[in-house]
């Protein structure tokens, strides 16, 4: 897989996410960690505090609600970064369930920046292992 230099790569599951920048030369993937967040430290600090309360009511399982809220806060944070022109291309990697949940909240402006979506859970991979996996991926 070819990922442009300076593209952001987001690897997420329902409880944590890592945001990397590709700092590799042309044809190479070398990941620099920009930020890592988890459910305890939601990424959506720009959003209003009460914004996710109503979505919690849709879920009877508090664990499912927490995942839902975390992923939507992540999308809001990425949308904010996209609007601030912090990246021009985004590779989104998440488990199938997490990716589906993120798509529900995805604004069109952020969606336009996505160059690749990978529906796999790579959230437990170290950056060097992830780089190698992406370099040899045909997804």
Using only C-alpha atoms, the chain has a radius of gyration, in whole angstroms, of 15
Average pLDDT, the chain: 86
Compute the distance between CA of residue 138 and CA of residue 38 in angstroms, rounded to an integer. 29
If you average pLDDT over residues 60-66, what whole number do you get?
A: 81
pLDDT band at 84 (very low <50, low <70, confident <90, very high): very high
Residue 54 in this model has a pLDDT that exceeds 50: no
pLDDT at residue 94 is higher than 80: yes
Query: Residue 136 above 90 pLDDT?
Result: no
The residue extents of the domains of the chain are 8-107+119-135
Work out the percent of the chain whose per-residue pLDDT is above 70. 85
Averaged pLDDT, 50-79: 75
- At 10-50, the pLDDT tens digits run 999 988 999 999 999 888 999 999 999 987 755 654 433 33
pLDDT tens digit string along 110-122?
A: 999 999 999 999 9
- The topology under which CATH files domain 8-107+119-135 is Nucleotidyltransferase; domain 5 (3.30.420)
The arithmetic mean of pLDDT across residues 90-99, rounded, is 95
- Which residues are within 8 A (CB) of 48 and not within 5 positions of it... i.e. 6 or more apart? none
User: Across the chain, where does the E strand assignment appear?
Assistant: 8-12, 16-22, 31-38, 90-94, 114-119
Give mean pLDDT, residues 41-60: 48
The pLDDT, as a whole number, for residue 74 is: 95
């Amino acid at each position: 897989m070819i990922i442009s230099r300076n593209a952001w790569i987001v690897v997420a599951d329902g409880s944590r996410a890592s945001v990397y920048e590709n700092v590799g030369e042309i044809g190479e993937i070398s990941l620099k960690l920009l930020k890592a967040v988890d459910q305890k430290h939601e990424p959506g600090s720009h959003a209003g505090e009460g914004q996710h309360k109503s979505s919690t009511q849709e879920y009877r399982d508090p664990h499912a609600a927490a995942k839902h809220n975390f992923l939507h806060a992540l999308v809001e944070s990425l949308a904010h970064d996209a609007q601030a022109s912090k990246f021009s291309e985004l590779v989104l990697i998440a488990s199938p369930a997490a990716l589906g949940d993120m798509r529900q909240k995805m604004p069109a402006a952020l969606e336009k920046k996505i160059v690749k979506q990978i529906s796999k859970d790579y959230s437990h991979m170290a950056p060097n292992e992830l780089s190698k996996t992406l370099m040899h991926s045909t997804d």
